[in-house]
Structure 1
Amino acid sequence: MIKPIKSEQDYESALTQMEHLLDAKKDTPDGDTLEILALLISDYERKHYPIRQLSPIEALKVEMEEQGLTQSALAARFGMSKGSISDIINGKKQMSVRFMKFLHKDLGIPADVLLA
């Protein structure tokens, strides 16, 4: 039975229910139940577990780590000095629009994060 999620216990129960329905086919009763549970869970998580958006520098650090990029490699890739990259990462130097475009297009960092 689907009901609103009002507590952690309701949340855990909904997650368990959802786990049992993960293989449900779309446009079936189980598929519809899965879709509704996903919406309820998402709403509860948004209210109770908000995710703080990363700063542009935090996003750059995360992306560098995920892609295994060192400051030297990023500097070489972008045609900058390692010192300039270090200054940006340490907050001593602002990111230029050109650098932000590179981060967006080449590293895949969302533009809204870079402009935050």
Structure 2
Amino acid sequence: MKLKPIKSDIDYRNALKRLEVIFDAPIDTKEGDEGEILSLLIENYENEHYQIEAPDPIEAIKIRMEELNLRQKDLVGIIRGKSRVSEILNRKKKLTVDMIRELERILHISASVLVNNYELSKK
């Protein structure tokens, strides 16, 4: 395949098809180099046309809890208090700066995700 910039969805789909064919090509081969460059072109196109929004902070915490097999009570030491954990996870209260620091340090959730705004529950 002749490498060229990806400028349309048709180019994008063709690039994906080609990458699928050469995906397992050995490194430092003609096809391996092509796959590496094609991956960069595809990533660039996706970043421009298919941006993925960061999850809201509470969803990010819940996802990370699931990944680590944690329950609400496991966050008591991080968020300070059983009722406060419940209020945060049920969107009754906002995260504080100290909570964000601790969640980033212990759960390895980026502070840039945790500082995003989210709606509080009206209930």
SS at match of 2:55: coil
Asked whether 1:24 is paired with 2:31, we answer: no
- Structure 2 residue aligned with 1:92: 92
Number of matched pairs: 115
Residues in 2 aligned to 1:85 and 1:79: alpha-carbon distance in whole angstroms: 6
TM-score of the aligned structures, taking structure 1 as reference length: 0.81
Residues in 1 aligned to 2:8 and 2:95: alpha-carbon distance in whole angstroms: 43
Residues in 2 aligned to 1:78 and 1:114: alpha-carbon distance in whole angstroms: 14
For each residue in 1:54-95, what CA deviation from the matched residue of structure 2 results, as whole angstroms up to 9, or x when unmatched?
A: 2222211211122222212222x4373321011112332222
How many percent identity over aligned positions? Answer: 45
Pairwise CA RMSD? 2.0
Q: How does 1:50-61 map to 2 (within 5 A)?
A: 50-61=51-62
Residues in 2 aligned to 1:31 and 1:72: alpha-carbon distance in whole angstroms: 48
